[in-house]
Structure 1
Amino acid sequence: MYSKDTIAAISTAVGDGGIGIVRVSGPEAIKVVNKIFKSYGKKKGLTEADTYTAHYGHIIEPKEEQVVDEVVCLVMKSPRTYTKEDVVEIDCHGGSIPLQKILELVLKVGARLAEPGEFTKRAFLNGRIDLSQAEAVMDVITSQTEAGLEIAMDQLEGGLSGQVSEIRQKLIKLLAHLEASIDFPEDEIEDFTIDEVGERVAKIIEMIEKLLATSKRGKIVKEGVQTAIIGKPNVGKSSLLNAMLQENRAIVTDVPGTTRDVIEEVINLDGVPLKIMDTAGIRKTEDEVEKIGVERSQKFLKRADLILLVLDAHQGITEEDERIINLVTDKDTIIVVNKTDLTSNLDLDELQERIDNVQIVKTAATERVGIKKLEDLILEMVFAGKVKATDQTVVTNMRHKEALEAAHENMLTVQETVGQGLPADFVTIDLKAALEELGKITGNTLGEDIIDQIFADFCLGK
């Protein structure tokens, strides 16, 4: 499915650093690097090195024998490597110039530049990991919280693969038995009773549903909760953001309309990435710059998962507040009654009666009063009381969720077919369809074009 040439790329992030890594993989990896590596002293070259050994020396320009950088080369021989091919990692100084120069030399003496994600793709194609594990690599790299990292590592270590494989094995056994009874009716193949088939189908449906039930939490832990702080000017939106961040990120003044654009920050809330957007105060204005900020605020409001509507306890509800309240009637909303350290002119009971199914929290953001209660309420709304349930495999990938949903639909059809007492031929059609959908998760039944697209989203060098 892929060429057996030798590939190379810079595997460390762009920018200056203490160490940079150029990774080389393929059948000629060791020979290629050996052409430009000169070991310290009179030691043997890399081609005679044992696997899992480190070699100190210099990368040299082969024609002029000019030293490019002082390096350590790590030699790892197939099949016990990341790609199951020969791999050499050149650890050099982390500046962009030495890294680029070394990469250019590696390409010059026989390697080609790797495509995005090609090292991980080779690990998948060579059978070291399945597709769900490969996708988990990027989840590990991009995780924003410890909970996100734990879930990604569980998938990388085969947590999801194992459960999907278990379901597929149950499907295969059921399918094989049914097909055998169809193809060889004259042989003495033990028949399932309708009840036995129904029980096995119900068990498979239960296993799929258990995985699907984790997908909402998985999406939240991976992608975060888009949370918009909205309200009229000068009610304390920026003070609330600063209090939740525990730093002065937004400018706070007594002048209405100070925030003229959307400020975005990520807060780690007990393992949940909360993507907070402090929006410009929503009001009618003739100021062109502020007007653009208000328009952006309204756009963010539409796409937000959760709304924090800030009201001023001292001022009470004004006409501007009324207009904003009407904008969030169909959204998950927490009303934050701010400035409760001042005299209150707001009837909370009346407010609760007016707006159905809304939670109200009292705060004094500048004093950080009520912030912990607000954060607890957010977590309660997000996970319905199950905040830290990370002790099981969690589905975080939309592609995986869609495949599970399709397999679930197929199995429900199987259940209906069995219940109607239809012949085994009808049952096997949807069993095969469910099997194919589950295979898309691990890569067993996925087309090469889709696989290429998945790895195209990876970073270069991974």
Structure 2
Amino acid sequence: MNQLSSQPEESTFQILTPEGRGAVASLEVTGDLDILNRFFEAANGKPVQDQPVDRIAYGTWNEEDLVIVRTSASTAEIHCHGGHTAVHRIAEQLCQSGIREYVVPLPSELSFEEEFDRLLQLATTRQTAHWLLRQRHLFTAAIQQLEQLSISERRQTAQAMLQWSGFGLHLTQPWKVVLCGHPNVGKSTLMNALVGYGRSVVFDQPGTTRDVVTASTALEGWPIEFADTAGLRETSDQLEALGVGKAQKVIEQADLAIVVMDATSGMTKADETLISHQSEPLVVWNKSDLLDGTADVLNGLSISAQTGDGVNELAKAIAQRLIPELPNEDQPVPVSQRQQEFLRQLLTGA
């Protein structure tokens, strides 16, 4: 008997819907469907592998409403809310569970050029469009030249390109910045000041923000998606507690966390705990306009979201933290998951 035939088939997934806004986004999972039960709870109580084929199964995925349709014994489609955030959150969770994203091979430099043409449509600022246009030539030319290199040189080149993967992906996907802090420190007012319009509801009662509110803008020419979250505190209010839970998830997935504190109250034990739980947060002391003298802003920025004082400096600091340096002008950069996967295969292949 062929031993390879007894090995379980690797589970994979792929995103079926294109990038961009839409009412519904879809993914397809192939392989061991039992893994989906870690996240999905059907309304009828049945596991995914026991759902009837081609029948819609309503349920929740980590408290988010969606539907799953089992299309065969080893394939299922996931249909969730449209847009970038929901579908890529599910994709990330699938990857963390060991399900590999299926990558359509790109066999020639022409295929990469066609992909760049498609990705250019997703550029939201002139600066990101400029970088994509430049990489359209640099990256495709570098791939073509790889054939002339030795195996060791090819791997070194691929590794150098992969070092800029994060920057490349954000040319079509905004950097995610979350405003977090305890209730009534001015997070909502600050987000409105940063994006330039009233996206978040502002009220002086703690706990006003119950859900995660997002808004997109550009800082220094780079696309940024801000998230205003519920104030982090223990609460007996069930609705507010759900908001706090969502806030903690968003914080974990952000590229940068801004910890907002009340300059009139000074550093508290709760503030120290919150800062210690973040990975290199940007600390901001808000309400500086309410102080008689100079605030103690050690290891932080002093601002007033209400008057706008210090907000421009904060915007520059955010851009500097997210993009501390840029690739050299002649450095090829992968700008999609597919391009990164192609380069990783060069590292592991002959």
The count of aligned residue pairs is 247
1:335-378 deviation per Cα after TM superposition (whole angstroms, max 9, x unaligned): 011111222696434xx4xxxxxxx2111111111122212222
Candidates 341, 361, 376, aligned match of 2:289: 341
Written as runs of structure 1 = structure 2, the 5 A alignment for 1:106-125 is none
* Aligned twin of 1:245: 195
Q: Tell me how far apart the structure 2 counterparts of residues 361 and 345 of structure 1 sit (CA, whole Å).
A: 12
Written as runs of structure 1 = structure 2, the 5 A alignment for 1:139-218 is 139-156=119-136, 158-168=137-147, 170-171=148-149, 203-218=153-168
Deviation at 1:162, TM superposition (A): 1.2
Tell me the C-alpha RMSD between the 2 structures. Answer: 2.9
Candidates 221, 227, 230, aligned match of 1:277: 227
Q: Confirm whether residue 362 of structure 1 aligns to residue 341 of structure 2.
A: no
Q: Secondary structure at the match of 2:309?
A: coil
* Aligned twin of 1:395: 334
Q: Confirm whether residue 221 of structure 1 aligns to residue 171 of structure 2.
A: yes
Contact 2:220 2:316 in 1 (8 A): no
1:433-457 deviation per Cα after TM superposition (whole angstroms, max 9, x unaligned): 2xxxxxxxxxxxxxxxxxxxxxxxx
1:94-138 deviation per Cα after TM superposition (whole angstroms, max 9, x unaligned): xxxxxxxxxxxxxxxxxxxxxxxxxxx9xx99x9x7221222233
Contact 1:280 1:297 in 2 (8 A): yes
Q: Confirm whether residue 266 of structure 1 aligns to residue 216 of structure 2.
A: yes
Contact 1:314 1:345 in 2 (8 A): no
Relative contact order higher in (CA < 8 Å, ≥ 6 apart):
1
Q: Secondary structure at the match of 1:264?
A: strand
1:149-173 deviation per Cα after TM superposition (whole angstroms, max 9, x unaligned): 22333455x43211110121x13xx
Q: Secondary structure at the match of 2:284?
A: strand
1:161-202 deviation per Cα after TM superposition (whole angstroms, max 9, x unaligned): 11110121x13xx6xxxxxxxxxxxxxxxxxxxxxxxxxx66
Q: Which has the higher helix share?
A: 1
* Aligned twin of 1:137: 117
Deviation at 1:210, TM superposition (A): 3.7
Q: Tell me how far apart the structure 2 counterparts of residues 391 and 310 of structure 1 sit (CA, whole Å).
A: 39
Deviation at 1:212, TM superposition (A): 2.5
Going from structure 1 to structure 2, the CA distance change for 1:138 and 1:408 (only over 3 Å counts) comes to same
Deviation at 1:393, TM superposition (A): 3.8
Q: Tell me how far apart the structure 1 counterparts of residues 310 and 260 of structure 2 sit (CA, whole Å).
A: 13
**Gapped runs of 5+ residues in structure 2?**
1-20, 23-103
* Aligned twin of 1:404: 343
* Aligned twin of 1:292: 242
* Aligned twin of 1:383: 323
**Gapped runs of 5+ residues in structure 1?**
1-12, 15-120, 175-200, 353-359, 411-432, 434-462
| TM-score between both structures, scaled by the size of structure 2 | 0.63
| TM-score between both structures, scaled by the size of structure 1 | 0.48
Written as runs of structure 1 = structure 2, the 5 A alignment for 1:413-452 is 433=350
Q: Secondary structure at the match of 2:215?
A: strand
Q: Confirm whether residue 371 of structure 1 aligns to residue 311 of structure 2.
A: yes
